[in-house]
Structure 1
Amino acid sequence: MTGILAEYAGGGAYDVAVSEARFTPSKAHHGTSDHVAAFGPGLRHIHLTGGRRD
């Protein structure tokens, strides 16, 4: 496997980040469907190449 293995919170990454005060919406587009769909929660992640950590 090659890619990024990321931890995501149950309940929606954006909603959980806002409720835990890890993200504060500050711009008009924050909370729109496009922004929420592309939101990265900033939780733990690892990069893998050929099944091994980079």
Structure 2
Amino acid sequence: MERDLTYVLNEAIASYLENYQWLLDEINKGVAEAEAGDFASDDEVQAVLAKLTNEN
């Protein structure tokens, strides 16, 4: 089924805006956490790094 250019562009723009809104929401959550002083401890960071690099 072939779509006209307007339909394709509208879908692309809608998808972009949805993704951009998600990104803004995540950034705002991170800023709120930072302003509240909600940071990972050094031990928590090291544990995650070890898990990601398989250095258990």
Q: TM-score, normalising length from structure 1?
A: 0.22
Give 1 or 2: higher strand fraction.
Answer: 1
Q: Could you say which structure has the higher helix fraction?
A: 2
Higher RCO (CA < 8 A, seq sep 6+): 1
Highest CA radius of gyration, 1 or 2? 2
TM-score (norm 2): 0.21
